[in-house]
Amino acid sequence: MSSSPARAGGALEDQAEANVEETGRGTWRHAAFHVATTIATPAAYAPLPFAVASLGWPLGVCSLVIGTLVTWCSSLVVASLWRWNGEKHTNYRLLAESIFGPWGYWYVSFFQQVASVGNNIAIQIAAGSSLKAVYKHYHTADDGAMTLQQFILVFGALELLLSQLPDIHSLRWVNAICTASTVGFAGTTIGVTIYDGYRIERKGISYSLQGSTATKIFRAFNALGTIAFSFGDAMLPEIQSTVREPVRANMYRGISSAYTIIVVSYWTLAFSGYWAFGSQVQPYILSSLTAPRWATVMANLFAVIQIAGCFQIYCRPTFAHFEERIQAKKKRSCRSCLCRLTYTSAYMAVITLVSAAMPFFGDFVSVCGAIGFTPLDFVLPALALLKTRTMPDNPGLQCAVKMLGAAVAILFSIIGALACIGAIRSIALDVKTYKFFHDM
């Protein structure tokens, strides 16, 4: 007996809805919002002038340019591997497992968690610092002043509320606002930086590397980790799974659009910040800005708004581990909502506690860049390209791509190790200098 037209039509509609859900609903613009929000955070912008100052003009400029080109190409490589073997890979862990086997799954699981947790600790410190800067603009008395730890706690409460949104696609409008805030932050900070640069007596500005030989070397290692952090994006397959067909084309367009914003703003702020303040530039550029005060307040507010969205993108890999076990992703019942509130509260408690206890922004940025983002955004895409053999047909180009991929994997493995050494040394020195829960 044949099925009725109504039933057949309903089956087709259900299948269509399932296909939309499976392939994603986001446009290339949504992909650009997510990528820009994930990479171009104030916590990524803010330490770049300090990183360039730690390396000097020649090495600083070269490191920033190379970092931009390598991560842009790596992002396109990861996007190209969507369904590389005919299967859909909705997250980085599954993509790595399909290419490298079980060790790829656990490799990405470890480094993605390091990158996600480290990133969120660093940006929560940055958000607390920006909130405190806005507060100090209006509250000039020392008596009864709120501490950095209290502002970190306030930001943590906001993130707990946003953490109840179910998935990345549900953050699309939040991230659209955050992308606008990224442009606002970059424009305001660059403008104030150049303004301050012209106000400062230029004869007093030095561009020489500071400290002893050992200090210069370790600060240079630290700076490499900072630059790696600034281009960190350990979430591309997760973002790509929210994009509609044609997935690859939309993702390529979204990545390139996001990088257009990133290149213009990163390079301008990094170079203008170092030019304006020289070797005395602070690890968080907003701490170096002086006037006009209203513009500094605006830059700090833009920073908080943008960080709010970025934090949500990076907490999703951790949430996914819980969701896979309790299977609460599809069933939006009261019980699943309560479970979600429980594990998001536990996550926020841990991140907030660490951020408040050790508010060493620059150190966490470097550690996260060295241990988390370098393996995922520089090394793994190059290895994946070699493993999957998605090469050009021309033999000469094939050889060139293989040599370049191997060189990138080896070079950035070394850079990651050196940056890790520099970051751990900086944390050890800061722990000796400051007490836990120090009001920076």
Average the pLDDT over 162-167 and give the result.
80
Residue numbers of the domain that contains 344: 24-433
Q: Give the number of other Cβ atoms within 10 Å of residue 428's Cβ.
A: 11
Q: Would the pLDDT of 143 be above 80? A: no
Predicted confidence at residue 243, as pLDDT, reads 87
Q: Which percentage of the chain shows pLDDT scores above 90?
A: 12
What's the sign of the alpha-carbon dihedral 213, 61, 403, 379? positive
Q: Which residues of 358-369 are buried (b: 16+ CB within 10 A; e: fewer)?
A: bbbbbbbbbbbb
Residue 335 lies in a domain: yes
Rounded to whole angstroms, the Cα distance separating 436 from 177 reads 35
Amino acid at position 214, single letter:
A
pLDDT in tens, 382-396: 998 888 877 777 778
| Displacement of CA 29 from its chain's centroid (Å) | 18
Residue 141 to residue 144: CA distance in whole angstroms: 8
**Spatial distance between the Cα atoms of 253 and 40, rounded to a whole number of angstroms:** 17
Number of domains in the chain: 1
Q: pLDDT at residue 22 above 70?
A: no
pLDDT of residue 353: 92
Q: Is residue 70 part of a domain?
A: yes
Q: How far is CA 282 from CA 104, 136, 274, 327, in A?
A: 38, 18, 10, 45
Per-residue pLDDT at 155 exceeds 60: yes
Question: What is the mean pLDDT of the segment spanning 140-169?
Answer: 82
Closest CA to 320 of 95, 79, 83, 109: 109
pLDDT at position 295 over 90 = no
In a domain, 369, yes or no: yes
- Tell whether the model's pLDDT for residue 151 goes beyond 90: yes
Residue 199: both structure tokens together: 């106000």
Q: Which tokens sit at 278?
A: 């020289």
The pLDDT value recorded for residue 15 is 40
- Cis peptide bond N-terminal to 246, omega within 30: yes
pLDDT for the residue 154: 92
The per-residue pLDDT for 10 is 43
Residues near 355 by beta carbon (within 8 Å), at least 6 away in sequence: 121, 124, 125, 128, 152, 156
* Mean pLDDT along residues 96-123: 87
Assess whether pLDDT exceeds 70 at residue 107: yes
- pLDDT over threshold 80, residue 440: no
Q: Is the pLDDT of residue 14 over 60?
A: no
Question: Does residue 146 lie in a domain region?
Answer: yes
Distances (CA, A) of 44 to 55, 182, 186, 348: 17, 11, 11, 21
Q: Taking 70 as the threshold, does the pLDDT of residue 12 lie above it?
A: no
CATH of the domain at 63: 1.20.1740.10
Res. 144 pLDDT band, cuts 50 70 90: low
> How far is Cα 291 from Cα 268, in angstroms, rounded to an integer?
19
In a domain, 423, yes or no: yes
The mean pLDDT value for 400-424 works out to 88
Q: Got the DSSP string for 320-381?
A: HHHHHHHT-SS---HHHHHHHHHHHHHHHHHHHHHHHH---HHHHHHHIIIIIIIIIIIIHH
Confidence of residue 373 (pLDDT cuts 50, 70, 90): confident
Tell me, yes or no, whether 8 lies in a domain: no
Per-residue pLDDT averaged across 234-244, rounded?
A: 84
Least confident of 244-248, 362-366, 408-412, 414-418: 362-366
In a domain, 439, yes or no: no
Query: Where does the pLDDT of residue 1 fall: very low under 50, low under 70, confident under 90, or very high at 90 and above?
Result: very low
In angstroms, rounded to a whole number, what is the distance separating the alpha carbons of residues 16 and 20? 6
Coil, helix or strand at residue 391: coil
Residue 15 inside a domain? The answer is: no
